[in-house]
Amino acid sequence: MKPVVIIGAGPAGIRAAQTLVAQGVRPVLLDEAARGGGQIYRRQPANFKRSAVKLYGFEARKAKALHQTLDTLREQLDYRPDTLVWNAEADALDTLHEGRAARIEFSRVIVATGATDRILPVQGWTLPGVYSLGAAQIALKFQGCAIGERVVFAGSGPLLYLVAYQYAKAGAKVVAVLDSSPFSAQVRALPGLLSQPATLAKGIYYRSWLSAHGIPVHQGATLQRIDGEQRVRSLNWSDAKGEHQLACDAVAFAHGLRSETQLADLLGCEFAWNPLNRAWLPQRDRAGRSSVAEVYLAGDGAGIMGADAAEMAGERAALAVLEDNGHPIAPQRCVQLEQSLTRINTFRKGLEQAFIFPEHWAANTADEVMICRCEEVRAGDIRQVVREGHWEINRVKAHCRAGMGRCQGRMCGAATAEIIAGESQRAVSQIGRLRAQAPVKPLPFGLEVES
Amino acid sequence: MIEVDAIIIGGGIVGASAALFLSKAGRRVALLERDFCGSHSSGVNYGGVRRQGRPLSQLPLSQRAHEIWGQLPQLIGIDGEYQRSGHLKLARSLDDLRALQDYAASSQGFGLDLQLLDRTELRARFPWVGDVAVGASYCPDDGHANPRLVSPAFAQAARRHGAQVHEQCAVSAVEHDGQRFRVSSQSGLELHAPWLLNCAGAWAGRLAEQFGEAVPMHAGHPAMLVTEPLPLVMNASTGVEGGGIYARQVARGNCVLGGGQGFALDAARARPGQQAVIEILRQAVELYPFLEGAQAIRTWSGTEGYLPDRQPVIGHSSTQPGLLHAFGFAGAGFQIGPAVGQALTEIICNGAPSTSLDAFSITRFHSISVA
C-alpha cells in the first residue's frame, strides 16, 4: 500500500506525523534538513551543547517539546532527513538524498514546506555581509556565529525585533533596528494583536529590551542603500527627518515571510490571490484539504501564520487525512483546532497592519538596483520589458530572465512582481502567478538512481 | 468587424513570420493568438537552428531559412542570441557513423558543407565530447538561438510593419461564406478575409478537420533542462545520431539540454517529468563529461504537433480555396519557420511559392482513415 507522506519536519510536519502515528498509521516524513525542527526550531549540530533556553528563549519549551516528539516517534515513522523533494507529479514525489535520486509514491501527502524571507532589494544588497533576517537567525541558532560585529537590522515583521534581540542577547553589537512601519500603524494594529496577548507581550518585550539596552530603534525608517567594496561598510536610511548614515559591517533585512509553494504548485493545487499575504497561495479548506483530493496543506507553506498555528494546522491536516481514510476521529478536537487557528488569523491580520507592506517600495527603487541576483537582472531591465508591452510575470521572466536562475524566483519573485505591477500600473494581483518548474532546488548531473 | 487580406491563426514562429512577410508586402494582416505569441513550442523549444539531419525534402526550404536567419537583426530588430556555432551530430557506433556518412553523401548539393570526423579528428577538434562518440558529422554554419526571444520578436516586428496582433485572443468560430472567411474570437472580435492561414501548431488539426481534411496528428512533449552558468566549453550545438540527448551552451554559460518525452498536464501545458529529466542527467555525462557535478536549475517542456511521417503539412487546403495550412513540424519547426512564413506569403502575393512545397501537401493523408 502506498504510504501517507509528509513533506517537511517543522512544527506542522512533526505534529502531523504524531497525529497519524497515534492512529496506527506509519507515515513517511521527508525533510531537507539533517535534524527535524524546521527553521524556527532548527536544531544545532549534534556536537553543539548550547541549552534550549539559550537557543530558543521564550520558545525553548515549545522547541524542546517538538524535538522530543520527533525523537520519541522515530521508530514509528519512516523518517528521512537530508532528503530534498525536487519534483512532484500526480501521485509521486521525486527525492534526492546523498546524491541518489528516488521516487516515492503516496496515497496522500501533507505539504508542510514552510517559508523563507520576503526580500525587497535595495542598492548594495548583494554585498558580502548582507543577509536575510532568517539567515542571520540561522547563523546564530545553528552555527552559533553572528553575521558581523556591528549589525543593523532592517525591514519589518516580527522577526525583525526577535532576531535583533537574539543578537544583542548573544553579545553582538546591534547598531540599530530600522523598522519600515510607522509607529502609527502599530497603534492602529493593537486591537487585532490583542487576540494573542502572550505573543503581543513577547513582541513588546523584545522591543523594550532593545530600547532599555540603549539600542536605537527607528520606526518609519526606510533602508535606502548599502555601501562597501569587498564587504558592507555603511548604509543609508531615511525617515521623515531626512537621510542618515550608519557605519556597520553587516545588515540583516527582510519584509516578513513568504510561503514555499512550489511543491503545492507541482502537485496541481489551485492557487488564489491572498491579499493578507500579498501572494498567490494554494487554496485549502479549514482542515487543510487542497483542491487536489490526495494533497493536504499545513503550516507557513500554505500561508504565513507562525509556528504555533503550524503545529495546530499540522495536527488538523493529519486528522483530515485520517478522516478521509475512514479512521474515527474526535470532531471536538477538529473544531477546537479550527477555532484556535481562526484566532491566530485575527492576530496575523493585526501583524500585517503593524508591519505594513511598503507599498512605495517599487516606485522608489532605482533602475540600477539588482532584483534577480542569480541572473543579474536589475529593476530597469524588468521595466524595459514591461515598456515593450509585457505585463504577465512568466512572460516578463521569459524576456529578461528575472526569476530564471538558481533560486527559481524564490528570493526575487515577490520583488519582481512588485516592479512589474508598478511599471505596468496594474495591481500586483493582476500580473499572473510565477509558475513553479522542477527542480525545486538544483539537481546534479551524474546522480545515481535507486531502482 | 475587421476586414483584412489574411487572417492568421497561431502566433508561433510560422504564423508570426507569415504576418511579418505579408505586412512587409503591403498586405493587411490580423494574427490571432490564444495565449502570447511565441509562448508555446516556438518559444520553449531547444533553440537549435539546424539544417543537418533534416529529411532531404526539407533542405531547400531549410536552406532558404538559413539565409533569413543570416539577416535576423535587420528583420526582427534583435540578434536573439543567434550564433552560427556549428552543429555536431555524434555517432555512438560505427553503424551510426555510416548513417552520418550516407546522409552527408545524399545531402551534397544542398549547401550544408558537412564535414565527417573520425574519432581522432573529433577528439582533436572537440575535446569536450565524451569517449562514447566514435565520430561525428559537423555542419559549420548551423547554430542555435534563444527561442524565448526570437519567436515573440517576429510577432513584434510584424506589429511594427502594421500587422494587427491580437494576443490572449482565442478563436471561437471559423466559417467560409462562399466568398471569404469569417472568424470570430472569444473576446468578441469579428474578422473577414479572403485568406486564412492555419498556423495553430499542435492545435491545428481541429481547423483542418472542420474543412473536411482531418490529419492523424498527435502531440509530443520534449523534455528540456538548463544548467547554471558554466565556463564556456561547448563551441558547437550537438545532437546524436539515432536520437538521444541534444545540448548547446549559450554565451552566458548555461547549457541547454533536451531528450526524451515528458507528459501533458492538459491540452496546453506539459512537463518534462522525472523519468526524462533523470535520463538526461545520467546520459549527458557520458556524452559531455564536463557536466559531471554541474547542476540543473530548471526543466520545462512544450506541446508540439507530430504527423506519422514526422513531416509538416505546408500549403493549400485541398478542400477550401483560400485556406493555407502550416503545422506539424515534429519538434523541428524553429529553424525552418521563417522560410515557411515567407513561402506562404509568396502563395498569397505571387500565386505560388518559389520553393516547392509538394512534399508537404495535406493530401498525403487523404487516403488514411483518421481514428
pLDDT-based confidence at residue A185 (cuts at 50, 70, 90): confident
The predicted structure's pLDDT at residue B370: 53
Tell me whether residues A406 and B227 touch, CB distance under 8 A: no
pLDDT tens readout for residues A52-92: 888 888 889 999 999 999 999 999 999 999 999 999 998 99
pLDDT tens readout for residues A214-225: 999 999 999 999
Residue of B nearest to A95 (CA): B274
pLDDT-based confidence at residue A49 (cuts at 50, 70, 90): confident
Question: What is the residue-averaged pLDDT of chain A?
Answer: 95
The domain limits of chain A are 4-116+258-327, 119-255, 361-430
Is the per-residue pLDDT at A189 higher than 90? no
Tell me whether residues A447 and B39 touch, CB distance under 8 A: no
- Residue A425 C-alpha cell reads as 500600473
Closest Cβ–Cβ partner in B36, B274, B282 for A392: B36
Q: Where are the alpha helices (DSSP H) in chain B?
A: 13-24, 41-44, 59-70, 72-76, 94-106, 119-125, 147-160, 205-210, 274-287, 333-350
Q: What number is the average pLDDT over the span A403-415?
A: 96
Q: Which helix (H) or strand (E) holds A96?
A: strand A92-97
Tell me whether residues B282 and A449 touch, CB distance under 8 A: yes
> Is B182's Cβ below 8 Å from some Cβ in A?
no
3-state secondary structure of A236: strand
Percent of chain A with pLDDT over 90: 85
Tell me whether residues A446 and B298 touch, CB distance under 8 A: no
Closest Cβ–Cβ partner in B277, B278, B295 for A442: B295
Residue bearing cell 478563436: B171
pLDDT-based confidence at residue A143 (cuts at 50, 70, 90): confident
pLDDT tens readout for residues A417-446: 999 999 999 999 999 999 999 999 999 998
Beta carbons within 8 Å of A74's beta carbon, 6+ residues apart? none
Residues of A with CB below 8 A from B39's CB? 395, 398
C-beta atoms surrounding A154 within 10 Å: 27
Using an 8 Å Cβ cutoff, are B242 and B134 in contact? no
The predicted structure's pLDDT at residue B243: 85
Residue of A nearest to B282 (CA): A446
Beta carbons within 8 Å of A204's beta carbon, 6+ residues apart? none
Residue ranges of chain B assigned to CATH 3.50.50.60: 2-47+148-215+309-365
Q: In the CATH scheme, what is the code of domain B2-47+148-215+309-365?
A: 3.50.50.60
Closest Cβ–Cβ partner in A92, A395, A408 for B297: A408
Residue of A nearest to B37 (CA): A395
> Is A392's Cβ below 8 Å from some Cβ in B?
yes
Residue ranges of chain B assigned to CATH 3.30.9.10: 87-140+222-301
Q: What number is the average pLDDT over the span A15-40?
A: 96
Tell me whether residues A103 and B297 touch, CB distance under 8 A: no
Tell me whether residues B298 and A404 touch, CB distance under 8 A: yes
Residue bearing cell 522608489: A364
How many alpha carbons lie under 13 Å from residue A82 in its C-beta half-sphere? 5
3-state secondary structure of B105: helix
* A445, A447, A449, A451: best to mutate for the B interface, most B CBs within 10 A: A445
**In the CATH hierarchy, which fold is given to the domain comprising A4-116+258-327?**
FAD/NAD(P)-binding domain (3.50.50)
The predicted structure's pLDDT at residue A294: 98
- Place domain B87-140+222-301 in its CATH homologous superfamily: D-Amino Acid Oxidase, subunit A, domain 2 (3.30.9.10)
- Place domain A119-255 in its CATH homologous superfamily: FAD/NAD(P)-binding domain (3.50.50.60)
Q: Considering the entire predicted model, what is its pTM?
A: 0.95
Tell me whether residues B291 and A405 touch, CB distance under 8 A: no
Q: How far apart are alpha carbons A235 and A315 in whole angstroms?
A: 44
Instruction: Looking at the complex, report in whole angstroms how far the Cα of residue B232 sits from the nearest Cα belonging to chain A.
Output: 17
> Is B319's Cβ below 8 Å from some Cβ in A?
no
Closest Cβ–Cβ partner in A89, A399, A444 for B273: A89
Closest Cβ–Cβ partner in A87, A404, A437 for B274: A87
> Is A384's Cβ below 8 Å from some Cβ in B?
no
> Is B287's Cβ below 8 Å from some Cβ in A?
no
Please name which of A33, A31, A26 lies closest in space to residue A107, comparing C-alpha atoms: A26
> How many beta-carbon pairs under 8 angstroms link A with B?
77
Question: What is the pLDDT tens value at each position of chain B, 371 positions in all?
Answer: 999 999 999 999 999 999 999 999 999 999 999 999 999 999 999 999 999 999 999 999 999 999 999 999 999 999 999 999 999 999 999 999 999 999 999 999 999 999 999 999 999 999 999 999 999 999 999 999 999 999 999 999 999 999 999 999 999 999 999 999 999 999 999 999 999 999 999 999 999 999 999 999 999 999 999 999 999 999 999 999 998 899 999 999 999 999 999 999 998 899 999 999 999 999 999 999 999 999 999 999 999 999 999 999 999 999 999 999 999 999 999 999 999 999 999 999 999 999 999 999 999 998 765 54
Is A361-430 in the same CATH topology as A4-116+258-327?
Answer: no
Using an 8 Å Cβ cutoff, are A431 and A392 in contact? yes
Using an 8 Å Cβ cutoff, are B42 and B147 in contact? yes
pLDDT-based confidence at residue A194 (cuts at 50, 70, 90): confident
Instruction: Looking at the complex, report in whole angstroms how far the Cα of residue A307 sits from the nearest Cα belonging to chain B.
Output: 30
The predicted structure's pLDDT at residue A53: 87
Q: How far apart are alpha carbons A290 and A261 in whole angstroms?
A: 12
Residues 24 through 43 of chain A touching chain B, CB cutoff 8 Å: none
> Is A292's Cβ below 8 Å from some Cβ in B?
no
pLDDT-based confidence at residue A199 (cuts at 50, 70, 90): confident
- In terms of DSSP bridges, do strands B115-118 and A448-449 run parallel, antiparallel, or are they unpaired? unpaired
**In the CATH hierarchy, which fold is given to the domain comprising A361-430?**
Arc Repressor Mutant, subunit A (1.10.10)
> Is A92's Cβ below 8 Å from some Cβ in B?
yes
Beta carbons within 8 Å of B105's beta carbon, 6+ residues apart? none
